[in-house]
Amino acid sequence: MAIIEEKSVVLKRGLLLRLRGWFFTGLLVTAPVLLTVYITWAAIKLIDGQVNRLIPEFATWSLGDVPGAGLVVGAAMITLIGAIAAGFLGRWIIRLGEAILNRMPVVRSIYGATKQILETVISTQSDAFREVVLVEYPRKGLWVIGFVTGATKAEVARLIPGSNVNVFIPTTPNPTSGFLLFCPVKDIIYLDMSVEEAVKLVVSGGIVSPPDRGLKKKATAENLEKETPKKGMRKASTKKVTSKKVAT
Q: Which residues of the chain have pLDDT under 70?
A: 1-11, 56-66, 119-128, 215-248
pTM given for the model = 0.54
Residue of 164, 165, 190, 169 lying closest to 180 (CA atoms): 169
**What single-letter DSSP state applies at residue 68?**
T
Q: What is the mean pLDDT of the chain?
A: 78
pLDDT for the residue 159: 93
Rounded to whole angstroms, the Cα distance separating 146 from 184 reads 13
Rounded to whole angstroms, the Cα distance separating 167 from 48 reads 37
pLDDT for the residue 166: 93
HSE value, Cβ hemisphere, 13 Å, CA-based, for 92: 3
Rounded to whole angstroms, the Cα distance separating 240 from 248 reads 12
pLDDT for the residue 116: 72
pLDDT for the residue 6: 64
Q: What is the pLDDT of residues 163-191, one digit of tens each?
A: 999 999 998 888 888 899 999 999 999 99
Backbone angles phi, psi at 167, to 5 degrees: -125, 125
pLDDT for the residue 65: 65
Query: What is the DSSP pairing of strand 131-136 with strand 178-184?
Result: unpaired
Domains along the chain?
15-110 (no CATH), 131-213 (2.30.30)
